[in-house]
Amino acid sequence: MLRRLRERVSVVWLVGPFVLYVGALPFVNRVHPIVLGLPFFLFWMLLATVLTPVTIALAALGDPRFKRDREGDAQ
Amino acid sequence: MSDAAIALGIFAFFMLVTVGLGVLALRRSASRSLTDWSVGGRSLGTALVWVLMAGESYTSFSYLGAAGWGYGYGVPVLYVVAYLGCGYAVGYLVGPLLWRYARDHDCVTISDMVAHRFRTPVLGAAVAVFATVFLLPYIQLQLTGMGVVVSTISYGRVSLDWGYAVAFLVTTAFVVVSGLRGSAWVSLLKDVLVILTLLTVAVWIPVHFFGSGGLGYPHLLHRMVAEKPEWLTLPGHDSPGLGMGWFASTTLLSAFTITVFPTTVAGYLGAKNAGALRRNAIYLPFYQVLLFIPLLLGMAAAFVVPNLKDSNLALFRMVVDALPAWLVGLTGVAAALSSIVPMGVFMLVIGTMWGRSVLGASPRLADRQKGLSQLVVVIAGAAALLLTYTSPNTLVRLSVVSYEGMAQLLPVVLGGLLWRGMTRAGAVAGLAAGTAVMLALVLSGNDPLWGCNAGVPALAVNAVVNLAVSTARWRRAD
């Protein structure tokens, strides 16, 4: 698997959720500003939860393996 | 009819439907083999994998524990959302890897994958026993969770002890009969009910207690910011060291651990193809948005029902106080199914590991693996039920270390597939060293250790010992 990852560059997007949930912590652990009525930390976690599938989709869309799945040659 | 009778009637009806669904799922299956029972004959498409794995992730903890944490500490409980989100990203790569290995070598669970990888049945049996020790507490957690739900929605008419017994009976009945496919079908019912009742509760409770302007949320959030700001950032209110370091390390450790958690792996192996798993890595995270509801309502409960003796009841206290009986019943069914589905898969996985790798490893019993697995399901469930009655604290203490314990399987299960050089001796030495360090830290009260989840240093020791022993033996063999 590791060798083949070289042809699957887009999977670096998979670090996305880690950046959103973990990397951003020092900057988002606060009550203000209030966004959409939500205290900032809650807002950020909700945003991260909505963006997580987006980053994984970006990883998948550039992944030759995922394209092959969709052509029905499911392996 | 009294409120209790209405709520209990609805509850009883859906419990029968649950067992019925299990039986129906059985009739749809083509064969009666262990593979069919344990991993649904590797035939589940994207949608069924989604409902099954979402069902496993949203347990009765979400109704009770998450609301309880929200009530007591506040936002630290969001680590659950964080690690599941990150875990799906890891699973995008790991899921297909495990799925392919299992299909190519006819494996049905992690213990026989390890036995095959290291050509050592005894190591597979050891992994099965190890994983069972750390899975039993989860069964008990779900049993007690469901007992509490049944007792609460019956307005106290049904005792906790009877609640536990009902939980055990319903779960055992459908899992023994129908296996993983039945769990997936019951999950479908569960997800529909969970989504409907949670959205209803999310609207009803704030309006009921905080007025109808903006469905009550502006008022609730405003009061939280003004009166309980401690709850709104890490480390939360009066929490036992749940700061940023703890949040980050627990998220990282759990995101990887969940991909080798035997119940997650059951979901992976049940998939029809690797594509179903990659697609699910994208679709599954959406489900986590629902976890914000019990958290928010748990924090709201701090205003509405302060000074609860059992903080886990934060959400259900309000549900029973505010909602009409039939909705109390439906919410109870959703919460009960949130116990039943994961508990069923936990028991199924324990049964499969023992049937395949411990008892079934003996050639004399090799052709009776499925029957043995089903027998172990009943034994494991009965053991958890018995411990719940006789010494409820034993398993609770064990559950504290469950995730950190399961993390110690990462090198053996996942590392072993990625790194051909890992030897049997390295795997055993690493697992033993990591587990020893983890137990020493937790039992001596050093978890979190300097603000970091104790499972992380233990896993590091595990990996280093594994690497050292594996390479030492490897050079000699050359």
Distance CA B153, CA B308 (A): 17
| B37 and B370 Cβ atoms separated by less than 8 Å | yes
Question: Residue B50 is encoded by which pair of tokens?
Answer: 């989604």
Together in a domain, B330 and B453: no
For residue B404, is it within any domain?
A: no
Tokens 């997936």 appear where? B184
Instruction: Tell me, yes or no, whether B266 and B354 share the same domain.
Output: yes
Domain of residue B154, CATH code: 1.20.1730.10
State whether B321 and B448 are in the same domain. no
CA distance B221 to chain A (A): 7
Please report residues of A whose CB lies closer than 8 A to that of B233. Answer: 29-31, 39, 41
Who among A30, A49, A57 is closest to B282 (CB)?
Answer: A57
Q: Are residues B56 and B132 in the same domain?
A: yes
User: Which stretches of B211-305 are DSSP H helices?
Assistant: 217-227, 244-260, 262-270, 274-283, 292-304
Tell me, yes or no, whether B376 lies in a domain.
yes
| DSSP helix/strand/coil, B158 | coil
CB contact under 8 A, A66 and B283: no
Q: Which pLDDT value is given to residue B73?
A: 84
Of B75, B85, B272, the CB nearest to A48: B85
**SS3 at position B44:** strand
Task: Select from B381, B414, B385 the least CA-distant residue to B262.
Answer: B414
B229 touches chain A (CB under 8 A): yes
Chain B residues 292-311 within an 8 A CB cutoff of chain A: 292, 296
**Do both B330 and B468 map to the same domain?**
no
Tell me whether residue B171 is in a domain: yes
B382 and B260 in a common domain: yes
**Spatial distance between the Cα atoms of B235 and B245, rounded to a whole number of angstroms:** 9
CB atoms B82 and A21 under 8 Å: yes
Q: Are residues B475 and B332 in the same domain?
A: no
Instruction: For residue A32, give the chain B residue with the closest CA.
Output: B225
For residue B429, tell me if it sits in a domain: yes
CB atoms near residue A5 (< 10 Å): 12
- Domain ranges for chain A, please list them: 32-62
* Cross-chain Cβ contact B224/A11 below 8 Å: no
User: Does B380 lie in the same domain as B341?
Assistant: yes
Instruction: State whether B313 and B437 are in the same domain.
Output: no
User: What sign does the dihedral B399-B403-B404-B408 (CA atoms) show?
Assistant: positive
Q: Which of B47, B110, B61 is nearest to B431 (CA)?
A: B110
Q: Which residues of B touch A3 (CB under 8 A)?
A: none
User: Does residue B408 lie in a domain region?
Assistant: no
Q: Which of B77, B232, B295 is the best residue to mutate to test the A interface, defined by the most A CB atoms within 10 Å of its own CB?
A: B232
The CA distance from B21 to B6, in Å, is 23
Are B81 and A49 an interchain contact pair (Cβ–Cβ within 8 Å)? Answer: yes
Domain that holds residue B463: 419-478
Q: Which residues, 6 or more positions from B65, have their beta carbon under 8 angstroms from its beta carbon?
A: B77, B145, B312
Separation of alpha carbons B355 and B363, rounded Å: 12
Q: Identify the closest residue of chain A to B79 by CA–CA distance.
A: A21
Select the residue of B218, B251, B289 nearest A37 (Cβ to Cβ): B218
Q: Which residue has the tokens 């939860």?
A: A49
Residue B266 belongs to some domain of the structure: yes
A21 touches chain B (CB under 8 A): yes
In this prediction, residue A18 has a pLDDT band, given cuts at 50, 70 and 90, of very high
Q: Which of A41, A34, A31, A38 is nearest to B81 (CA)?
A: A41
| Sign of torsion over alpha carbons B422, B401, B67, B391 | positive
Q: Is there a single domain that holds both residue B49 and residue B88?
A: yes
Q: One digit per residue, pLDDT tens: chain B, 478 residues? A: 677 888 888 888 888 888 888 888 777 666 678 887 777 778 888 888 888 888 888 877 777 878 888 888 888 888 889 999 999 999 999 999 999 999 899 888 999 899 888 888 888 889 999 999 888 888 888 888 888 888 888 777 888 888 888 888 888 888 888 888 888 888 888 888 888 888 888 888 888 777 766 677 777 787 787 777 877 887 877 777 778 888 898 899 999 999 998 889 988 998 888 888 888 888 888 888 888 888 888 888 887 877 777 777 788 888 888 888 888 888 888 888 888 888 888 988 898 888 888 877 777 777 778 888 888 888 888 988 888 888 766 655 666 678 888 899 999 989 888 888 888 888 899 999 999 998 888 878 777 788 788 888 899 999 999 888 888 855 555 4
- Give the per-residue pLDDT at A73: 47
* pLDDT for position B92: 92
Do residues B251 and A22 lie in contact, with contact meaning Cβ atoms separated by under 8 Å?
yes
Give the total number of structural domains in chain B.
Answer: 2
Residue of B282, B289, B293 to mutate, testing the A interface (most A Cβ within 10 Å of its Cβ): B282
Rounded to the nearest angstrom, the minimum Cα separation between B333 and chain A is 27
Which residues of chain B does A33 touch, with a Cβ-Cβ cutoff of 8 Å?
A: none
pLDDT score for B259: 92
Going from the C-alpha of B61 to that of each of B138, B143, B338, B413, the distances in angstroms are 10, 11, 8, 27
Res B74: pLDDT:
83
Verify that B392 and B362 share a domain, yes or no.
yes
B406 located within any domain: no
Residue B403 in any domain: the answer is no
Closest CA to B369 of B382, B357, B378, B383: B357
**3-state SS assignment for residue B45:** coil
Q: Which residues of B3-15 are buried (b: 16+ CB within 10 A; e: fewer)?
A: bbebbbebbeebb
Residues B296 and B445 in one domain: no
Residue A75 near residue A18, CB atoms below 8 Å: no
